[in-house]
Amino acid sequence: MPRLYLRWPDRLWKRLEVYGVIRTDPPSEWPKEPCWLWIGGKNGHRRKHRKIIRNGGYGYVRGPDGKMTRVHLLTFRELRGVMPSGYISRHTCIGPHHCGNPWHVEPGTISENNTDTYAQGHR
């Protein structure tokens, strides 16, 4: 079966699931509450004897500049604008790391992100 190569921005939007469905309408019309799960490649897969023992972390995709970038950063940039200078992205949802919903990401400091991480029980 031949590989399917998608152009930007379909490369991003066609690999996000909302309520278990790949949406065909524009992302600006998607619901803001649920996690938009990335079904493409993820970092952090841990394998042992060819079996995945820990499913991956953040979703990654090749952005418009040709560089591999985290999905939640690209969706934030596409739908909400550029992240303010000096801030990092903080996930406000307690769902999986491969959530790509830009309304579940807020700009914040490293200290705020660490506090959130421990409060959500991720560490």
| pLDDT tens figures, 50-92 | 665 555 678 888 888 888 899 999 999 999 999 999 999 998 8
Residue 35 CA to residue 81 CA, distance in Å, equals 19
Contacts of 103 (CB under 8 A, 6+ apart): 32, 80
In tens, the pLDDT along 1-22 reads 555 566 778 888 888 999 989 8
